[in-house]
Amino acid sequence: MSELQNDRYLRALLRQPIDKTPVWVMRQAGRYLPEYREVRAKAGDFMTLCSTPDLACEVTLQPLRRFDLDAAIIFSDILTIPDAMGLGLHFVTGEGPKFSNPIQSAADIAKLGVPDMEDNLAYVMDAIRLTRREIDGKVPLIGFSGSPWTLACYMVEGGSSKDFAKVKGMLFDAPDQMHQLLNVMADSVIAYLNAQIAAGAQSVMLFDTWGGALSTGNYQEFSLAYMQKIISGLTRESDGRTVPVTMFTKGGGQWLELMAATGADAVGLDWTTDIGSARQRVGDKVTLQGNMDPCVLYASANRVEQEVASVLASYGQGETGHVFNLGHGIHPTIEPEKMQRLVDSVHRLSEPYYR
Amino acid sequence: MSELQNDRYLRALLRQPIDKTPVWVMRQAGRYLPEYREVRAKAGDFMTLCSTPDLACEVTLQPLRRFDLDAAIIFSDILTIPDAMGLGLHFVTGEGPKFSNPIQSAADIAKLGVPDMEDNLAYVMDAIRLTRREIDGKVPLIGFSGSPWTLACYMVEGGSSKDFAKVKGMLFDAPDQMHQLLNVMADSVIAYLNAQIAAGAQSVMLFDTWGGALSTGNYQEFSLAYMQKIISGLTRESDGRTVPVTMFTKGGGQWLELMAATGADAVGLDWTTDIGSARQRVGDKVTLQGNMDPCVLYASANRVEQEVASVLASYGQGETGHVFNLGHGIHPTIEPEKMQRLVDSVHRLSEPYYR
């Protein structure tokens, strides 16, 4: 493997001194890029794109050719594990992900087992291995997984949901059953992320998209506890370097202190939380990732730069501990020029904070 | 007017001693009740139901006939003001509210004026007057309005939105224009709620459904400031009693201290915030309304009772300051028996907290 040329992102996550704020963007390989839409059209459907290592590698690298990003994130979907468990993931245009065989009973849960990572999920590891070769040490590669609770939401609902009637019905009426499901998902995520690390992921991230739909007590019991279990179960080394872990619960701003106590190196913030106040609350315990409102990118490029400045000012003086990102994924209709301005502004405007 | 027989809800809002926790439920007059669905079917469309005082009064009273509720809320829609301004509100099945003439330019905003409350909005005041007569002093009647920011979201987007691209684009790129829009909406909401109070509303509530989509700074500037303006502009008396004001920002758990400082008598909590911690944070400054997860009602009646007990225990010892509610509106597919158990449990289980 080529030596890593830009380790600003890894250093920030591990709270080591840096020269400016590293930046990457959730969904940076995505529909807002014309070259992505081209590959996506060639692939035909979304799962073909995810499961063909050549194509997944290509779209992972696309944003790096345009923008001076400090990290790449492997192109994949958060629902690969339940798909490998036999739930039959597919995508319906305009409706998002669907499972042909959702979890409907205790019997369905009892049948679930940790999938073989180099069998049904080999395409993810192959994509990581290939991307690590192709990226040639330019920036680190991030691996990721959905959180057990978030995966359970899709598995029980059979797809996206507005009100989480089924999965919360199970949580409230059959908590033991829910814990059984979350346990097998946590074990699977541990195996999945460890396999990604073995394949070359230099940092990993847990996406807890639906933890914010829970009450504080239920968040701790049904989402956070399993993320903590995962963090404890990870092999945290690759190429002789520590592999940092980032945890992101959308809508979790009320629970920062709880997240900072899990052993995660970094906590992702959505844009509703003031990053300066967040820093005061968690101190030096974790690095903070975030957190510009993705909708700022609908405004002019000058306005984007202004808002970058405001997030940097809110975080305040370095010397480390901040990874710039949006508070959620970049939207598909954003013009790439706005992303350009975002990335460039972060680097240019953050330098003074590290002097 | 008949004398008010049950003032537990008003007393709790004003932090006066009570004997048990008052309870009402957002959307308590709604689709989960078969008798509501019957009236709704007769009315034909949703706006006919809202704008026909006889029908609005009838569905407002329906839940009181079944459940021992401590308040009624006038049946209406949050988008009546923009409709009265000429935006052409209509409902598309499965897609929610739509405006035929959304706000698309500075010129559209310049044309907006505070509507005449006894002209285009007379049907709301007539429904309140009629309901006050029919309710015969049994429990107080709540009036309400959407918050300026929430109304602006629908007016600019032209309906519901997942990402708020247009309204946030305006907020970021043309903040002066956005303030102009919010100002005319705040003035309209003041006139609207004052007219409701004059017509007989004994308490009013501001629903800020989309404030939680903003960053902390933008929430303060574009949503909270206008709610504060409204609260200062209200006539706070009816029948010689104080008319309490409740403010509810969904997803606003991070901003409780800010909300408690607006002059509102009560702050509504969604279920993600722990009500015990919320009480510690705001002290005796405001009453707290909430906050059971509406999804608990998908579980068994015994589980509902357990969860009621847990919310009451989290709030803790009285002697006042808590109004029980769900953290958001009751879902349309809930069985009325669950609601029955909820209401009865609140009264029965809360009594010991006031001894």
Q: Are B158 and B102 in contact (CB under 8 A)?
A: yes
Distance from the Cα of residue B292 to its chain's centroid: 16
Q: Where are the alpha helices (H) located in A269-335, listed in sequence order? A: 275-282, 301-315
Q: How far apart are CA B18 and CA B350, in angstroms?
A: 11
**Cβ-based contacts of B94 with chain A (< 8 Å):** none
The b-or-e profile of A195-211 (16+ CB within 10 A means b, else e) is bbbebbbbbbbbbbbbb
List the domain boundaries for chain A: 8-354
- The pLDDT of residue A94 is 79
Check CB contact under 8 Å for A299 and B254.
no
Check CB contact under 8 Å for B218 and A293.
yes
Residue B320 vs residues A164, B16, B253, B350: alpha-carbon distances, Å: 33, 6, 21, 11
- The pLDDT of residue A319 is 86
Least confident of A51-60, A195-204, B161-170: B161-170
Q: Where are the alpha helices (H) located in A31-138, listed in sequence order? A: 34-43, 46-51, 53-66, 80-82, 106-110, 122-135
**Cβ-based contacts of B175 with chain A (< 8 Å):** none
- Closest to B172 (Cβ–Cβ): which among A172, A254, A303? A303
Residues paired with residue B183 on neighbouring β-strands, in sequence order: none
**Cβ-based contacts of A333 with chain B (< 8 Å):** 165
Residue A42 vs residues A38, A39, A45, A174, B147: alpha-carbon distances, Å: 6, 5, 9, 44, 46
Tens of pLDDT along A269-327? Answer: 999 999 999 999 998 899 999 999 999 999 999 999 999 999 999 999 988 999 999 99
- The pLDDT of residue B162 is 86
- Closest to B272 (Cβ–Cβ): which among A212, A310, A331? A212
Q: How far apart are CA A290 and CA A277, in angstroms?
A: 13
- Closest to B212 (Cβ–Cβ): which among A214, A272, A294? A272
The secondary structure of residue A2, as a DSSP letter, is P
pTM score = 0.95
Q: What's the mean per-residue pLDDT of chain A? A: 96
Question: Regarding the domain delimited by B8-295+320-329, which CATH topology (the fold level of the hierarchy) does it fall under?
Answer: TIM Barrel (3.20.20)
- The pLDDT of residue B240 is 87
Whether A240 has a pLDDT exceeding 90, the answer reads no
Q: Omega before A291 cis (within 30°)? A: yes
Task: Calculate what percentage of chain A has a pLDDT beyond 90.
Answer: 93
Q: Where are the alpha helices (H) located in B30-88, listed in sequence order? A: 34-43, 46-51, 53-66, 80-82
Nearest residue on chain A to B310, judged by CA atoms? A217
A90 pLDDT tier (thresholds 50, 70, 90): very high
> How high is the mean pLDDT in each 10-residue block of chain B (355 residues)?
92 97 98 97 93 98 98 97 96 89 97 95 98 97 98 96 93 97 98 97 98 97 98 91 97 97 98 97 95 97 97 94 97 97 98 94
Question: How is residue B104 written in tokens?
Answer: 């698309």
CA angle B112/B118/B123 to nearest 5° reads 100
From A202's Cα to the closest Cα of chain B, the distance in A is 31
Nearest residue on chain B to A333, judged by CA atoms? B165
Check CB contact under 8 Å for A172 and B307.
yes
**Is B27 designated active site?**
yes
In the three-class reduction of DSSP (H, G, I as helix; E, B as strand; rest coil), residue A328 is classed as: coil
Which stretches of chain B sit within 8 Å of chain A by CB? 163-166, 168-169, 172-173, 212-219, 251, 253-254, 271-274, 277, 293-296, 298-300, 303, 307, 310, 327, 331, 333
Residues paired with residue A191 on neighbouring β-strands, in sequence order: none
Question: How is residue B126 written in tokens?
Answer: 């007539």
Question: How is residue A163 written in tokens?
Answer: 């009100």
The secondary structure of residue A224, as a DSSP letter, is I
Check CB contact under 8 Å for B216 and A294.
no
Q: How far apart are CA B343 and CA B324, in angstroms?
A: 9
Q: Give the list of residues 6+ apart from residue B132 with CB closer than 8 angstroms, or none.
A: B1, B141, B199, B200
Check CB contact under 8 Å for B163 and A299.
no
Q: Are B131 and B72 in contact (CB under 8 A)?
A: yes
- The pLDDT of residue B1 is 67
- The pLDDT of residue A1 is 67
**Cβ-based contacts of B218 with chain A (< 8 Å):** 293
Domain A8-354 has CATH 3.20.20.210: yes
Which stretches of chain A sit within 8 Å of chain B by CB? 163-166, 168-169, 172-173, 212-219, 251, 253-254, 271-274, 277, 293-296, 298-300, 303, 307, 310, 327, 331, 333
Q: Are A287 and A322 in contact (CB under 8 A)?
A: yes
**Catalytic residue annotation of A:** 27, 31, 40, 77, 154
Check CB contact under 8 Å for B172 and A295.
yes
- Closest to A295 (Cβ–Cβ): which among B164, B254, B293? B164
Other beta carbons within 10 angstroms of residue B217's beta carbon come to 11
